[in-house]
Amino acid sequence: MTARPAASDEILIRQFKDGDRNAFDGLYQRYLPAVYRRVRFVIPEADVEDVTQEVFIAAVRSLPSFRGEAQFGTWLRTLTNNKVAEYYRKRNRKQEAPESPLLDDLRQPSEGNAAKIMEDRIILRAALRRISQQHREVILLRFAEGMQFNEIAVLMGQNLEATKSLFRRAIAALRTHLDERQ
Amino acid sequence: MTSSNKKPQNPDDLLAEFADRVLEEEAAVPAAAADPEVRSLLATVQRLGRVARAEDPDQKTVGRMQADLKQRLSRSRSDTGHAWQSQQTRQRLSLTFASVAVFAVILLAIPILLSGNGGTEATAGIQTQGALVLVGIGCMIAMVFWLRRRK
C-alpha cells in the first residue's frame, strides 16, 4: 500500500501512541481505498466492508506495538492478507460450498455494465484464489493498489525486468484458471 | 525510421504497458500483438483493468465506513472494560472466599492442637485429628495459591 504524500504516517502513529485517538482517522482515510480495493478483489461482495473494517480494528489494536521496522503500508498489507486468510479459514471451517461466494454476489442487484463488471469480478476472484501467492500478489499490487511496476520491483526486491516477467507469468496463470471456468 | 523497422516489443513490456493503459481508461487490445498467446494475455489484463477501475469506494461509503469503525471501536473498548471489571470482581470474590475458609479452618484447629499438646492423656485419636486439620490447612493454602495462579 503506497503512502501517498509525505504528510507522514510516522507522525500520525506517534500521535496515536501518545493517546490522540483522532490521529488514526488520518491513517484510515489515507489507506482505506487501497485496503478496500485489495479486499474487494478477493472477498465476496457481501463481506468486503466487514473484512475491511476488521483490518483497521486489528490495526488500532496492534498499533501500540508497531515499532516502525517496516513501513505502515507494508504492515497494513500483511494485516489485510492475514484477515483475508482468516476469512477463508472460517468459511472453510463452516464447510460452505466453494462456490458460495458466487451466490453471495449474485444476491446483489446489478444492471447492464455493472452486471458485467460484477460477473467479471466474481470469475476473477475465483481464479485469483487458485494461483500462487506470489502471482496473486503482483496482480493485486498493480490492479488493486495501483502501484507502478518500478515500485513493485522495489517492494519485491527485484529488478524491473524480473517484475514484468513475473507479472506476465501471473497473468498467464490467471488466464489458465479463467479458461477452466469458461 | 519506418514502423516495419521497429524491433518487436518484448511480451513482458507489452503486457506491462497495456496494464498501465487499461488502468487509466478502457483500451482495446493492441493490433500490434499478432501472437494469439499474447493477445489472450492482453485480453486478461483488459478484464482486470475493467474491474479495477470500478473498485474505489465512493465518498459516501468512506464516510459511512469511518462512522461504523468508530462505533465498533468504542463498543469493543467498553466490552473490554466490562470484561475486565467482571474479572476483577470474580478474583476478589474467590480470594475472599478462600481467605474466609482458611481462617475458619485455623479457628477450628487451634483448640484441637492445643488440647493435643497439653495433657498426658492425649490419645492417638486426637493426634490423628490434629494431623488431619494440618492437612486441611495445607490443602486450603494450596487452593489459594492455585486460584491466584489461574488468574
- The pLDDT of B127-139, averaged and rounded, is 71
ipTM exceeding 0.90, yes/no: no
**Total Cβ atoms within 10 A of residue B1:** 5
| pLDDT tens by residue, A42-58 | 999 899 999 999 999 99
Contacts of B46 (CB under 8 A, 6+ apart): B18, B22, B27, B28, B29
**Rounded mean pLDDT of chain B?**
74
Question: Binning pLDDT at 50, 70 and 90, where does residue B2 land?
Answer: very low
Reference A25, options B57, B69, B77; nearest CA is B69
Could A32 and B15 be called an inter-chain contact, meaning their C-beta atoms sit closer than 8 Å? Answer: no
pLDDT for residue B117 = 57
> What length does chain A have?
182
In the prediction, which pLDDT does B58 show?
85
Measured between alpha carbons, how far is B67 from B10 in angstroms, rounded to an integer?
Answer: 48
Task: Identify whether the C-beta of residue B73 lies closer than 8 Å to the C-beta of residue A24.
Answer: no
The Cα–Cα gap between B132 and A78 comes to 60
What's the DSSP call for residue A142? I
| pLDDT for the residue A6 | 46
Percent of chain B's residues with pLDDT above 70: 61
pLDDT for position A117: 82
| Chain B residues touching A41 at Cβ < 8 A | 51-52, 55
Q: What is the pLDDT of residues A109-159, one digit of tens each?
A: 556 677 888 888 899 999 999 999 999 999 999 999 999 999 999 999 999
What's the confidence (pLDDT) of residue A39? Answer: 95
pTM of the model: 0.70
Q: B23 CB contacts (<8 Å, ≥6 apart)?
A: A142, A143, A146, B49, B52, B53
- Once rounded to an integer, what is the mean pLDDT over residues A15-35? 90
Q: Using the beta-carbon criterion (under 8 Å), do B65 and A40 form an inter-chain contact?
A: no
pLDDT for position B122: 54
Nearest-Cα distance to chain B for A171, in Å, is 6
- Structural Rg of chain B based on CA atoms: 41
B47-92 confidence digits (pLDDT tens): 999 888 877 788 888 889 999 998 888 887 766 555 555 555 666 6
Interface test with B, best of A171, A176, A177 (most B CBs within 10 A): A171
> What pLDDT, on a 0 to 100 scale, did the predictor assign at position A62?
92
Lowest mean pLDDT among A107-111, B23-27, B98-102: A107-111
How far off is chain A from B86, nearest CA to CA, in Å? 21
A49, A143, A172 member nearest B48 (Cβ): A143
pLDDT value at A162 more than 90: yes
Quote the strand ranges of chain A, DSSP E. none
Contacts of B19 (CB under 8 A, 6+ apart): A142, A143, A167, B45, B48, B49
pLDDT band of A179, cuts 50, 70, 90: confident
- The span from the CA of B124 to the CA of B134, in Å, is 15
User: Do A24 and A12 meet the contact criterion of CB atoms below 8 Å apart?
Assistant: yes
Which pLDDT score, from 0 to 100, does residue B8 have?
61
